[in-house]
Structure 1
Amino acid sequence: MLPDIQFFYAAIPAVILVGLSKGGLGGALALLGVPILAMVVPPMQAAAIFLPILLVMDAVALWAWRHHNDRKTLVLMLPGAILGIVLGWATSTYISAGAMRLVLGTVTIIFVARYVYDTYGPNSKIETPPKPQRPLAAGLWSTLSGYGSFVAHAGGPPFQIYVLPLKLDPRTYTGTSVRFFAIMNAVKVVPYFALGELDTANLTLSAFLLPVALVSTLAGARLVRLMKPQTFYPLMYAMALLAALKLVWDGAGF
């Protein structure tokens, strides 16, 4: 049986935002998806509903970016990411829905704060050289990325904290990011099945929402060519902050 109409009031905008992100409009949009859906269903169920949709989007993105990749970054980060997924799996039954909301909201707030500092802070106009590959830092941030990705598909901020300072060519960065998260999403299928989250009910909801995701992904690719990032991104990060504050409020039990 399908949930009431309030579920779709949240689910459709959430999927549209994630689809726009996959189309090329940036991580802020993807970060909004699970927080919005988690307002009407438990966070783990929200993440489970999104997983099959993300797998289809990943397949399209992998084909589009098949010629672009930074192999060394993937080699350094994937072991930590898989460890983070395992840790998320091991602790998922011990963490309440409220705690997961707090984790997700806090990660989102940190991500927004980092964006604001980088964009408007004292060093925003200072050109810094690319950082070298750092195995220890790659392991730390990729583990956090894997954990955040498992509990709420929120692995983007830790990934960006490590990879953006490398200052890869934009196409190389995008191709590497696509591969990193596609591999993580594929790995997550096993623990999500083991936890019983990919049941018939959730897969049915994913199937209903998939056409919305595909259309919005194509729309995102189109909008990238039309919209000025200077106007769009501040608005999206503001929306991410509002969603995060709502999750923290709910998770803290106020």
Structure 2
Amino acid sequence: MMAIRFVELCQALMITDPIFYVFAVPATLLYGLSKGGMGGGLGLVAVPMMALVISPSQAAAILLPILCVMDLFAVWGFRGVYDKANLRIILPASLLGIGVGAATYQYLSDDHIKLFVGLIALVFALNWVLQQLRGRPPEAKPVSKIAGWIYGSIAGLTSFSVHAGGPPINMYLLPQQMNKTVFVGTTVIFFTVVNYVKLIPYAWIGLLDSSNLMTSLALVILAPIGVRLGMYMHHRINEGLFYWVCYVLLVAAGGKLMYDGLMGLIQ
């Protein structure tokens, strides 16, 4: 009897529309693939996909606890592999961005953020692709405090708003042409810290209500599955191909964010 009542309570608190899960399940798995090392662009698909059936803010709120669980599996999978010099710069910068995002939550339009991030991601990635096609690959860039603070703070802001911190961080780290596993391990540490810090303002704003949390609980079983699939694919893909995948996904993600932002502003 108590078990039945618990199930009924869960159904009352969580989203039960089956159409929602048609979009939410693949969106969650795609984010897991991204966390497992298959490029940050994959994760950007999740919020827009879920936003087809619920509001973007609710989609972000449902995903955040799931991302926090994914982060634990990803940290274990890439344990001990990261770039300390970069993390010392971009982590403090991201906290600044999260603070700005929380302070301006009621005034900053998601559509403006999507348009801004999409534009810079698209220009950056297309420039790299054109250089590759011309046979003039760019030289590896060194760690930069100025660039790290700029992109790190933007990543904190956009991650807070629409979980779109991947493009800014990719734009900072990819030109350094580090080993692909070190690259992924660095982003894993970065977003683990960012996502757990985001729990505080999300709870303060009221986004982590009982309905969203119970829906997160229903989807969280997909977290380890998606991450493991991503890690499996990461260790079986050529490094040159890996960077091509990352940049192509950055183009796709940038285009998608620009489109969503423009459509939102037009409507």
Q: Shared topology, TM-score over 0.5? A: yes
Stretch of structure 1 that moved more, 192-201 or 106-115: 106-115
Return the offset for 1:173.
1.6
Q: How does 1:88-167 map to 2 (within 5 A)?
A: 88-95=101-108, 99-121=109-131, 125-167=135-177
Return the offset for 1:245.
5.2
**Does the C-alpha gap of structure 1 residues 190 and 105 become closer, same or farther in structure 2, counting only changes over 3 Å?**
same
Counterpart selection for 1:171 from 181, 197, 206? 181
Stretch of structure 1 that moved more, 231-240 or 119-128: 231-240
The count of residues paired between Structure 1 and Structure 2 equals 251
| 8 Å Cα contact 1:36-1:243 kept in structure 2 | no
Stretch of structure 1 that moved more, 203-212 or 237-246: 237-246
The residue type paired with residue 26 of structure 2 is P
Q: Distance in 1 between matches of 2:72 and 2:88?
A: 20
| 8 Å Cα contact 2:73-2:224 kept in structure 1 | no
Q: Would you say 1:69 and 2:82 are equivalent positions?
A: yes
Q: How does 1:179-194 map to 2 (within 5 A)?
A: 179-194=189-204
2:56 alignment partner in structure 1: 43
**Does the C-alpha gap of structure 1 residues 76 and 123 become closer, same or farther in structure 2, counting only changes over 3 Å?**
farther
SS at match of 2:156: helix
Return the offset for 1:45.
1.5
Q: Distance in 2 between matches of 1:225 and 1:236?
A: 18
1:56 alignment partner in structure 2: 69
**Does the C-alpha gap of structure 1 residues 37 and 160 become closer, same or farther in structure 2, counting only changes over 3 Å?**
same
Q: Distance in 2 between matches of 1:139 and 1:110?
A: 16
Stretch of structure 1 that moved more, 206-215 or 229-238: 229-238
Q: Distance in 2 between matches of 1:239 and 1:93?
A: 28
Return the offset for 1:132.
2.4
2:3 alignment partner in structure 1: none
Q: Distance in 2 between matches of 1:235 and 1:13?
A: 20
Q: Distance in 1 between matches of 2:226 and 2:181?
A: 21
**Does the C-alpha gap of structure 1 residues 102 and 7 become closer, same or farther in structure 2, counting only changes over 3 Å?**
farther
Q: Distance in 2 between matches of 1:174 and 1:122?
A: 22
RMSD: 2.6
**Does the C-alpha gap of structure 1 residues 9 and 235 become closer, same or farther in structure 2, counting only changes over 3 Å?**
farther
Stretch of structure 1 that moved more, 165-174 or 106-115: 106-115
| 8 Å Cα contact 1:22-1:61 kept in structure 2 | yes
Return the offset for 1:68.
0.9
Q: Please list the CA deviations of residues 126-148 of structure 1 after superposition, one character each: whole Å capped at 9, or x if unmatched.
A: 24332222212211111101000
Q: Distance in 2 between matches of 1:128 and 1:224?
A: 24
The residue type paired with residue 46 of structure 2 is G
User: Percent identity over the alignment?
Assistant: 34
Q: Which has the larger radius of gyration?
A: 2
Q: How does 1:169-248 map to 2 (within 5 A)?
A: 169-224=179-234, 229=241, 240=253, 243-244=256-257, 246-248=259-261
Q: Which structure 2 segments of 5+ residues have no match? A: 1-11
Counterpart selection for 1:10 from 8, 23, 28? 23
| 8 Å Cα contact 1:43-1:101 kept in structure 2 | no
Q: Distance in 2 between matches of 1:165 and 1:145?
A: 16
TM-score of the superposed pair, with normalisation by structure 2:
0.83
**Does the C-alpha gap of structure 1 residues 165 and 233 become closer, same or farther in structure 2, counting only changes over 3 Å?**
closer
Return the offset for 1:220.
2.6
| 8 Å Cα contact 2:129-2:247 kept in structure 1 | no
The residue type paired with residue 182 of structure 1 is T
Q: Would you say 1:27 and 2:40 are equivalent positions?
A: yes
Q: Please list the CA deviations of residues 47-99 of structure 1 after superposition, one character each: whole Å capped at 9, or x if unmatched.
A: 1111111111111111111121211111111111100000000000223xxx3
The residue type paired with residue 53 of structure 2 is V
